Structure 1
Amino acid sequence: MKILLINLLCSILLLQSCDKGNKQMNTENKKEFSYAVTFSAATGFTAEVHEGYLADENKKMICGVPKAGMEEGPWQYDGAKAGQGGNVIPSYIDLTYVAYAEKKFYRVEGALPKDKILAAFQKGFKVKGNETENGKSKWEDGTYEEITIGAAPGGVIVVWLSGNHHRTEICRLQAKETTVDANDFYDNPHNRTQQGFFDELYKISLSDSIKTVIQKTGIPYGLWDKYREKYNYRFRLHPYDEKDTFDQIYRLNYNGESEYLTDTKATEMYKKDAIPYNVVFIMQKYNAEIRFNDEELMVIFEKFKEKYPDKPIEMVLVPSFMYKDIKVYAECDSEKIELKKVKVVEIWGG
């Protein structure tokens, strides 16, 4: 994890920095932005593009959706780029894909929120550039670099913008089941029937763990819409010596969004956000990576939302002496619940 974090921070610095003397990116008045297009899938629920494209308001094709083979997620992954992209903001999508867990082809066709996409590109986000001679860093403008289309069971389609360790949802669409001859999709030397194609690809494209889940409880339809529910909360550190603070936070959420916060004020603000999946906390001496359990968090957050609808939620990290361990509590109003299913992946530093 240390190597991963170092690589992550180095790549952030590389991507976000400009040579001294270069002007900051001015995105406010731009109408076109270069982007790659990628396709992803819900974690473990493998899907694959048959054909598809993004188009402008006149349905003139801008670029294809890449046919880069099977995609099995995770939901926070952007998928393979495979050379597709453009610079005209899209207004329309037409995409057909196969969902191997469901043994179905789906098609989504309809409008994309062009104005919202353009506004997100123009707004972008602030990133830290190179350190100056006094050791401080200037805030600079950054923006997104990819449009990612994610497919989840039940024909759920989510579109995100991604870039520089930030990922934001643009819209949620609904695909419908469609018919595609397997022989038009897959060069089948064994002359399998349509059902034979689905059965064989089910066997080879899904992990044993996902097959076990499906056999026991079925496909968890609706789960990815639950992930999109947002709550008003923040992370707070309750340090052993009362002096430590968060310096940076890199978070990925279950809904596929992510952000990298490098400003102390930003890390302390309450924010409407989906439940966290994996979070890296950078403190003054120690650092920690913590992974959260979706079922546990959804139960607690829904309970707090019902009991205290106007109260924000605190996610409190309580380190032990010398940061040998970290306990996490969810607090709202006067109620406090310890999270039993969090996994402290690693603690390092000191």
Structure 2
Amino acid sequence: MALGKLIPLKRLTLLIALLFSLCACASGSRPPAPPKLPYNSWYVGLAAPRFMEVWVETVDVLDQRGLAFFRVHGGVAGYTRKPEGWHKGGGKMKPINNVDLPERLFLRWQSLVEPQAYKIRIPIPQWVRDEMVRPERVFCQGSKEWIDDYREMITLGMAPGGIVKVWVGGACLGFKEVGRFQAEIEPLGPYRGKSNGQYIPIEPENKAYIDQHGIPYGTW
């Protein structure tokens, strides 16, 4: 029996068009190719001055391919030895897998000692991405041997008042400062209003320090 007798011509035309449309959608939804980097992962570190407790709600990435990745890091930060000033780099590190080098970083966090919620969009200059893929011969103190290392780590340092400092460095290489930025207050509050204004509870040790010494604004 002829196909035309089973399916009317107009309906057959619509069916063929639908199949072509589905094929096009399927080909367009293929996952992107893995980024071509000299290492499997680069890292984001979270840092804050001692006692100046923070809770990071999210770190999002727009990579140099124009692809967005959400909540690649968050939670508690690593803390410096002193409340005033910074050390360079470090912090609580997390590997960022299958993401190309960052073009922009989006950071939203709670400064628990104030308390206040902040947000910021941080542009990453091209020289930083160049540094991240440039090998450098260095004697590594950890392994006691010469290696080719990369500055594949980006640290985000957060301080009260919405101050953010950014560094790029490597495990065996020094950190270079990318810039100092001023975040804006998140008008919706913590968790963009989803917690009804409730912040993460501050640790008693940190609260006791703030109650006794205050917040050293202007030292970061």
One fold, TM greater than 0.5? Answer: yes
Does residue 126 (structure 1) correspond to residue 138 (structure 2)? The answer is yes
Output the amino acid matched with 2:218: G
For 1:9, the equivalent position in structure 2 comes to none
For 2:15, the equivalent position in structure 1 comes to none
For 1:210, the equivalent position in structure 2 comes to 210
- Judged with a 3 Å threshold, the aligned counterparts in structure 2 of structure 1 residues 183 and 152 are, in CA distance, closer, same or farther, namely closer
Q: Which runs of 4+ in 1 moved over 6 A?
A: none
Shift of 1:97: 0.7
Output the amino acid matched with 1:101: V
Aligned residues: 176
Contact 1:146/1:162 (<8 A) preserved: yes
Shift of 1:104: 0.7
Does residue 168 (structure 1) correspond to residue 180 (structure 2)? The answer is no
Distance 1:138 1:203 in 2: 41
Does residue 56 (structure 1) correspond to residue 63 (structure 2)? The answer is yes
Shift of 1:100: 0.9
- Judged with a 3 Å threshold, the aligned counterparts in structure 2 of structure 1 residues 139 and 78 are, in CA distance, closer, same or farther, namely closer
- The higher relative CO (CA closer than 8 Å, separation ≥ 6) is in 2
Higher CA-based Rg: 2
TM-score, length-scaled by structure 1: 0.42
Matches within 5 A, 1:75-94: 75-76=86-87, 78-82=90-94, 84-86=96-98, 88-94=100-106
Distance 2:78 2:207 in 1: 9
3-state SS in 2 of match to 1:88: coil
Q: Could you report, residue by residue, the CA deviation over 1:35-55 in whole angstroms, capped at 9, with x for unpaired residues?
A: 122222122211111123121
Is there any run of 5+ residues in structure 1 with no aligned partner, and where? 1-29, 132-136, 188-192, 225-350
3-state SS in 2 of match to 1:53: strand
Contact 2:57/2:191 (<8 A) preserved: no
Contact 2:64/2:100 (<8 A) preserved: no
Distance 1:185 1:127 in 2: 49
3-state SS in 1 of match to 2:201: helix
Equivalent residue in structure 1 for 2:187, among 179, 190, 213: 179
For 1:73, the equivalent position in structure 2 comes to 79
Contact 1:113/1:171 (<8 A) preserved: no
Does residue 42 (structure 1) correspond to residue 49 (structure 2)? The answer is yes
Output the amino acid matched with 1:148: T
Does residue 113 (structure 1) correspond to residue 125 (structure 2)? The answer is yes
Output the amino acid matched with 2:149: G
- Judged with a 3 Å threshold, the aligned counterparts in structure 2 of structure 1 residues 85 and 158 are, in CA distance, closer, same or farther, namely farther
